[in-house]
Chain A
Amino acid sequence: MKRRTAVVVALGAALALAVSGCADGASGDSTPSGTSLTGPIEVWVMGNKGPAMEAVAAGFSAETGVTVLVQAIPWGDVRTKMSTAIVSGQGPDVLQVGLDRVAEWADAGGLLDLTDRVADYPELQADNFFPASASTMSYDGRTMTVPWIADTRVLFYRSDLLEEVGLSQPPADWTQWQAAALALSQRGEGKYGMGFNVNDVNTPLILTWSAGGDIEADGELSFTSQQYRQAVEFEHSFFADGLTPARALADADLIAGFKDGSIPMFISGPYMTRSLADQAPELKGQWSVAPIPAQQSSTSLMAGSNLGVFAFSDHVDAALAFIAYLDRRDVQLAWNSTTFDLPAAQGALELLIGDANVAVYHQQMNSAKPVPITADWGAVAQEITRASEQINLGGMTVDQALAELTAQVAAI
């Protein structure tokens, strides 16, 4: 009994030595100052990516000796958890931030200003990332977060059904898009041409950009441009002509409609590739993705997540080293292989474009734009979806809905 205890103690000591030795050896590579990193650090990752993060974090711990505690936060709880953390000062060290929330958390004082720190890490340089991702790093002139996962929106289409109505190519411009949807909807009762959502926030943005306009000019949001009107009118024409179901379509509805052919085209992101592979394997080879059809240009949304350091973190060095680790090419690729998330680091993504779908995402990201980086984006997004819902479901005229949208956004 006694001997066994001694063995355990000895083993433990040896392990501790090995770990600390490891930490000393590796910290020199990860931190420029050569100081050893102190932990443990806590990481908040969103959605169901907890196990994947734990797997990746184990590699970091092995390299640096810093323990990483992973907490997975359901998407629906993010806002509450973050508000509580900001108010109490008790939170994670590293956190995942959706691009539509970067400004909100930075404005609320939840993120540490990294302006003077990122220069120390080659992995965190702005020119590693797509221009659109890189532009989300700063808020109010300060660097607050660093890109991690890249995401965009493209056109998903059933190539076999398009061929059935005599189309060998996906629509490349708006005229073709409407014509394709019309032809597809004429296949019979209950068949639609497209799957638009009555209250989506991204579609009007993507269409506005693709019409050559923007909702943001000189830091001010505006919904009075000709292009924004064109965008909502174009989207509404699909509802008015019965080319798309007049509903709020959840992803499950899109997948079901894609499967039975009733919804042969819709706009979605890379995560849908995974969902279709899992839930509709029989469709393999019958669908594909294409860039957003262009009016002036094919300009989609740059979505995804950045990483930030919590304002009240006690382990800033280790937190930054961990972020740099997550943005390292081999780790970005490892993350992609388990989660199918696309790397924000351009160099890593380019290694994946052998896949035809990824090639389209890559092409689309080159010209994509992020949502406006403004603290009130959450509230603005609610107003945009509301205006769309009024037009597409409530029967309000575009004039009236846009006037109301402008007034509501001005009141935020």
Chain B
Amino acid sequence: MVILVVFSVLPIVVALVASFTDLDLRGLRDWSLIEFIGLDNYDRLLGDPRFRAAAGNTVIFVLDGVPLIVVCSLAAALMVNYGSSRLFRVYRAFFFLPAITNIVAVAFIWGFLYNTDSGLINLILSWGGVAPVPWLDQPVMAKVSVIIVAVWQGCGYNMLIFVAALQGIPREFYEAAQVDGANAWRRFFSITLPQLRFATFFVAVTTSISWIQLFETPLVLTHGGPLDSTMSMALFIYRNGFERNRFGYGSAASFLLFLVVVTVTAIQFKLRRQDSNV
């Protein structure tokens, strides 16, 4: 309990208090310089076009990323669950590898792959006669590139959750369906998907939370550019708080982000409860 308060509740309270002040680097050293400015930070935040752009980007990231993760990790889970030979175990390890690889290294390597002139991806595309794609140099493309990397990295972990859930589905269901003459598609939609309902919900919630806070991938890959097209809310907080030492302003933004996470999670749980009551 003490640990929960010290490491979880206290930082939130501190951030909340700091968000009502003009705290900066000098203020941290000499507390007498800190002034309470009420809701000014929030007022400015909501009027800051960059914050709104970051919020908009985050919405796009979540709306694209979460469905993609659910679909990709489920597809991967079905594939590796198809057999149990050594080959499938190798596949499983292969899909899981991105999830346990350091994000900085991942983004660094992807940065090389994405390079417009010398990247491997454009080289391969050029064999097919495709003109160089500006993966990270153009606002829309950069957003796509960041989503690709984050999906690629997020799939492995969620695949494991789906694999575990798949293995928990009683075999008898399938046998009975087969006897009734249901084909593979029918079996998938009538047995597998409904049985995976809780796993899907879990994956959707955890992925939403982590994508709302998407941070390292754009930080290392694009630093939020070009033209702030990959600036997520978390990256906005980092750049204001730690690159510009505007701790008060950053705290206000992070408290808003915290509220968003709580709200989204609450809504999802609510939906889930309604769903299971039906």
User: Closest CB-CB distance, B46 to chain A, in whole Å?
Assistant: 15
Interface residues of B, dominant DSSP: loop
Q: A199-B225, A394-B227 are in contact. List 11 more A-B contacts (CB 8 A).
A: A79-B242, A79-B243, A83-B25, A87-B28, A245-B116, A253-B115, A253-B118, A256-B118, A378-B243, A393-B137, A393-B138
Chain B 115-145 residues near chain A, CB threshold 8 A = 115-118, 134, 137-139
Q: Does A198 contact B (CB under 8 A)?
A: yes
* Residue numbers in B under 8 Å from A80 (CB-CB): 242
Q: Does A390 contact B (CB under 8 A)?
A: yes
Q: Does A147 contact B (CB under 8 A)?
A: no
User: Closest CB-CB distance, B268 to chain A, in whole Å?
Assistant: 34
Contact B29 A108 (CB under 8 A): yes
User: Closest CB-CB distance, A109 to chain B, in whole Å?
Assistant: 5
Contact B26 A253 (CB under 8 A): no
Which residue from chain B places its CB closest to the CB of A105 in the assembled complex? B25
Q: Does B30 contact A (CB under 8 A)?
A: yes
Which residue from chain B places its CB closest to the CB of A394 in the assembled complex? B227
Taken together as a complex, chains A and B put the C-alpha atoms of A262 and B139 apart, in Å, by 24
Which residue from chain B places its CB closest to the CB of A86 in the assembled complex? B29
Q: List 10 A-B contacts (CB under 8 A).
A: A104-B25, A107-B26, A109-B30, A199-B226, A253-B115, A257-B117, A378-B243, A379-B244, A382-B243, A389-B226
Q: Does B245 contact A (CB under 8 A)?
A: yes
* Residue numbers in B under 8 Å from A104 (CB-CB): 25
- Mark each residue of chain B from 55 to 82: 1 if its CB lies under 8 Å from any CB of chain A, else 0: 0000000000000000000000000000
Which residue from chain A places its CB closest to the CB of B115 in the assembled complex? A253
* Residue numbers in B under 8 Å from A246 (CB-CB): 137
Chain B 35-70 residues near chain A, CB threshold 8 A = none
Chain A 297-318 residues near chain B, CB threshold 8 A = none
Contact A390 B227 (CB under 8 A): yes
- Mark each residue of chain A from 237 to 251: 1 if its CB lies under 8 Å from any CB of chain B, else 0: 000000001111000
Contact A86 B116 (CB under 8 A): no
Contact B29 A393 (CB under 8 A): no
Contact B117 A389 (CB under 8 A): no
* Residue numbers in A under 8 Å from B28 (CB-CB): 83, 86-87
User: Closest CB-CB distance, A315 to chain B, in whole Å?
Assistant: 21
Residues of B in contact with A (beta carbons under 8 Å apart): 25-26, 28-30, 115-118, 134, 137-139, 225-227, 239, 242-245
- Mark each residue of chain A from 244 to 282: 1 if its CB lies under 8 Å from any CB of chain B, else 0: 011110000100110000100000000000000000000
* Residue numbers in B under 8 Å from A245 (CB-CB): 116-117
Known contacts A108-B25, A247-B137, A379-B244: A253-B226 contact under CB 8 Å:
no
User: Closest CB-CB distance, B231 to chain A, in whole Å?
Assistant: 11
* Residue numbers in B under 8 Å from A107 (CB-CB): 26
* Residue numbers in A under 8 Å from B245 (CB-CB): 79, 83, 108
* Residue numbers in B under 8 Å from A257 (CB-CB): 117
User: Closest CB-CB distance, B24 to chain A, in whole Å?
Assistant: 8
User: Closest CB-CB distance, B203 to chain A, in whole Å?
Assistant: 33
Taken together as a complex, chains A and B put the C-alpha atoms of A378 and B24 apart, in Å, by 14
Contact A389 B225 (CB under 8 A): yes
- Mark each residue of chain A from 66 to 88: 1 if its CB lies under 8 Å from any CB of chain B, else 0: 00000000000001100100110
Residues of A in contact with B (beta carbons under 8 Å apart): 79-80, 83, 86-87, 104, 107-109, 198-199, 245-248, 253, 256-257, 262, 378-379, 382, 389-390, 393-394
Contact B226 A256 (CB under 8 A): no
* Residue numbers in A under 8 Å from B227 (CB-CB): 389-390, 393-394
User: Closest CB-CB distance, B11 to chain A, in whole Å?
Assistant: 16
Taken together as a complex, chains A and B put the C-alpha atoms of A369 and B184 apart, in Å, by 73
* Residue numbers in B under 8 Å from A253 (CB-CB): 115, 117-118
Contact A262 B117 (CB under 8 A): yes
Contact A248 B226 (CB under 8 A): yes
Taken together as a complex, chains A and B put the C-alpha atoms of A364 and B10 apart, in Å, by 54
* Residue numbers in A under 8 Å from B244 (CB-CB): 378-379, 382
Taken together as a complex, chains A and B put the C-alpha atoms of A247 and B114 apart, in Å, by 13
Taken together as a complex, chains A and B put the C-alpha atoms of A255 and B30 apart, in Å, by 46
Taken together as a complex, chains A and B put the C-alpha atoms of A117 and B117 apart, in Å, by 53
User: Closest CB-CB distance, B278 to chain A, in whole Å?
Assistant: 49
Known contacts A79-B243, A247-B116: A86-B225 contact under CB 8 Å:
no
Contact A109 B137 (CB under 8 A): no
User: Closest CB-CB distance, A44 to chain B, in whole Å?
Assistant: 17
Q: Which of B29, B138, B225 contacts A109 (CB 8 A)?
A: B29
User: Closest CB-CB distance, A393 to chain B, in whole Å?
Assistant: 6
* Residue numbers in A under 8 Å from B225 (CB-CB): 199, 248, 389
* Residue numbers in A under 8 Å from B239 (CB-CB): 382
Which residue from chain B places its CB closest to the CB of A379 in the assembled complex? B244
Taken together as a complex, chains A and B put the C-alpha atoms of A248 and B30 apart, in Å, by 39
Which residue from chain A places its CB closest to the CB of B30 in the assembled complex? A109
Which residue from chain A places its CB closest to the CB of B48 in the assembled complex? A411
User: Closest CB-CB distance, A176 to chain B, in whole Å?
Assistant: 27
Taken together as a complex, chains A and B put the C-alpha atoms of A317 and B258 apart, in Å, by 48
Taken together as a complex, chains A and B put the C-alpha atoms of A104 and B25 apart, in Å, by 9
Interface centre among B28, B134, B138, B239 (most CB of A within 10 A): B28
The 6 closest A-B pairs by CB, nearest first: A108-B25, A247-B137, A87-B28, A394-B227, A379-B244, A108-B26
* Residue numbers in B under 8 Å from A198 (CB-CB): 226
Taken together as a complex, chains A and B put the C-alpha atoms of A390 and B244 apart, in Å, by 21
Which residue from chain A places its CB closest to the CB of B116 in the assembled complex? A247
Taken together as a complex, chains A and B put the C-alpha atoms of A80 and B28 apart, in Å, by 13
* Residue numbers in A under 8 Å from B29 (CB-CB): 86-87, 108-109
* Residue numbers in A under 8 Å from B134 (CB-CB): 247
Contact B25 A86 (CB under 8 A): yes
Taken together as a complex, chains A and B put the C-alpha atoms of A268 and B38 apart, in Å, by 46
Which residue from chain A places its CB closest to the CB of B244 in the assembled complex? A379
Taken together as a complex, chains A and B put the C-alpha atoms of A375 and B25 apart, in Å, by 11
* Residue numbers in B under 8 Å from A87 (CB-CB): 25, 28-29
Taken together as a complex, chains A and B put the C-alpha atoms of A198 and B61 apart, in Å, by 25
User: Closest CB-CB distance, B155 to chain A, in whole Å?
Assistant: 28
Taken together as a complex, chains A and B put the C-alpha atoms of A2 and B138 apart, in Å, by 74
Taken together as a complex, chains A and B put the C-alpha atoms of A165 and B172 apart, in Å, by 78
* Residue numbers in A under 8 Å from B226 (CB-CB): 198-199, 248, 389, 393
Taken together as a complex, chains A and B put the C-alpha atoms of A104 and B245 apart, in Å, by 10
Q: Which of B25, B26, B137, B243 contacts A248 (CB 8 A)?
A: B137
* Residue numbers in B under 8 Å from A86 (CB-CB): 25, 28-29
Taken together as a complex, chains A and B put the C-alpha atoms of A256 and B117 apart, in Å, by 9
